[in-house]
């Protein structure tokens, strides 16, 4: 057990523990910082700090290790979180179900701007026809820092998010290939893949757990290149794809995002595709039983993601 101090050793282990302290502790564990926990609960950071300190004193154990990047639960903290987080989830769920005069169920889905623009928007009307009673709320995030920390019910992260408090299910495989506007792609398809070593490349600056890169593409195709000519760089994949459509250069195209652009003839593949062992995931909170509305969104997105690659 992680003892804080001699003072805490003298603490009455049967001291009353406030549920407010426990909620602050749960939020801090999920968010990884006191400030993010405060935002999630709508209180000041000092309230979280004081609640956690009082809980540590009441229990006589240290619950967090403070680091320069945030906080990490100790062994005692992780054990406590595992035991107390689920009851609070059930309590909140029961309270929500007890509220009278609820409107149509709302499901909040957090996705990247590019996924919303190039994949989701074209399919929303179909979902609404099939599930008219569910109100699907979309929020866009182009980093993964808010995954599991905001008020969304489901998240499709950009990179790999591995957290013990979240459950991951497959959205779609990661399949990539070089893509460009038809006039740009034609010359490289005629001259062979090695000619791409001298191409004007459009690069995505990845502000998350990095996925596929141009360097990985050249290595996969056994093409040696000394210096990559990055004609355009952006941390917004929507802008990367628009630059490719406008003929500014060659981009890496994730199949589920570029499929509609390929079918419309706005982009053309250069060479074949590469399917990695790093699928995209849909995440939801562990221990929280998905209601019928959230389950329908999860099942629908999974089916649509599979179909996107199957028909390509």
pLDDT digits 0-9 by tens, 166-221? 999 999 999 999 999 999 999 888 888 888 888 899 998 877 777 888 889 999 99
Residues 244-258, mean pLDDT to the nearest whole number: 93
Please give the Cα distance from 174 to 220 (Å, whole number). 15
CATH number of 6-98: 1.10.10.10
pLDDT bracket for residue 95 (50, 70, 90): low
pLDDT of residue 254: 95
- Which class in CATH covers the domain with range 175-275? alpha beta
Nearest to 278 by CA among 202, 226, 206: 206
Could you tell me how far CA 52 lies from the centroid of its own chain?
27
pLDDT bracket for residue 6 (50, 70, 90): very low
Give the range among 2-16, 105-119, 178-192, 247-261 with minimum mean pLDDT. 2-16
Please give the Cα distance from 59 to 22 (Å, whole number). 11
Query: DSSP for 72-125?
Result: EE-HHHHHHHHHHHHHHHHHHHHHHHH-SS--S-EEEEEE-HHHIIIIITTTHH
Beta partners for 268? 180
Q: Where in the chain is the domain with CATH 1.10.10.10?
A: 6-98
CA atoms within 13 A on the CB side of 15: 16
To the nearest 5 percent, what fractions of the chain are helix, strand and coil? 45, 20, 35
pLDDT bracket for residue 4 (50, 70, 90): very low
CA torsion through residues 108, 109, 111, 113, sign: negative
Q: Is it the case that residue 240 has pLDDT exceeding 50?
A: yes
Reduced to 3 states, what is the DSSP secondary structure of residue 194?
helix
Reduced to 3 states, what is the DSSP secondary structure of residue 278?
coil
pLDDT digits 0-9 by tens, 62-85? 999 988 778 999 999 998 988 888
Give the range among 3-7, 112-116, 143-147 with minimum mean pLDDT. 3-7
Mean pLDDT of the chain: 84
26-35 as b/e: b if 16+ CB within 10 A: bbbbbbbbbe
Q: Where in the chain is the domain with CATH 3.40.190.10?
A: 106-172+279-310, 175-275
C-alpha to C-alpha distances, 85 to 43, 95, 206, 280, 294, nearest whole angstrom: 19, 16, 32, 27, 20
Q: Is it the case that residue 308 has pLDDT exceeding 80?
A: no
Q: Which residue's structure tokens are 């909040």?
A: 108
Q: Contact, 146 vs 109, CB < 8 A?
A: no
CATH number of 106-172+279-310: 3.40.190.10
């Amino acid at each position: 057990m992680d003892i804080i101090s001699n003072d805490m050793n003298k603490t009455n282990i049967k001291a009353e523990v406030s549920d407010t302290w426990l909620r602050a502790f749960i939020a801090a564990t999920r968010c990884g910082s006191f400030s993010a926990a405060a935002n999630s609960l709508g209180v000041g950071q000092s309230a979280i700090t004081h609640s956690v300190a009082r809980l540590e004193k009441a229990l006589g154990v240290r619950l967090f290790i403070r680091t320069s990047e945030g906080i990490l639960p100790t062994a005692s903290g992780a054990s406590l979180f595992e035991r107390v987080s689920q009851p609070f989830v059930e309590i909140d769920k029961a309270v929500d179900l007890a509220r009278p005069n609820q409107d149509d169920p709302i499901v909040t889905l957090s996705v990247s701007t590019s996924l919303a623009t190039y994949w989701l928007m074209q399919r929303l009307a179909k979902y609404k026809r099939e599930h008219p009673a569910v109100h699907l709320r979309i929020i866009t995030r182009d980093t993964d820092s808010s995954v599991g920390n905001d008020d969304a019910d489901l998240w499709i992260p950009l990179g790999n998010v591995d957290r013990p408090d979240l459950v991951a299910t497959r959205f779609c495989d990661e399949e990539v290939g070089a893509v460009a506007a038809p006039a740009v792609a034609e010359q490289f398809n005629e001259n062979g893949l090695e000619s791409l070593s001298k191409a004007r490349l459009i690069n995505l600056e990845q502000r998350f757990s990095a996925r596929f890169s141009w360097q990985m593409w050249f290595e996969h195709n056994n093409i040696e290149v000394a210096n990559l000519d990055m004609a355009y760089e952006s941390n917004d994949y929507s802008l990367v794809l628009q630059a490719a459509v406008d003929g500014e250069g060659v981009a890496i195209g994730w199949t589920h995002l570029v499929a509609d652009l390929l079918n419309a003839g706005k982009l053309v593949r250069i060479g074949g595709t590469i399917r990695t062992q790093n699928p995209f995931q849909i995440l939801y909170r562990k221990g929280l039983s998905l209601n019928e509305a959230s389950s329908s969104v999860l099942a629908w997105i999974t089916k649509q993601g599979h179909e996107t690659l199957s028909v390509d």
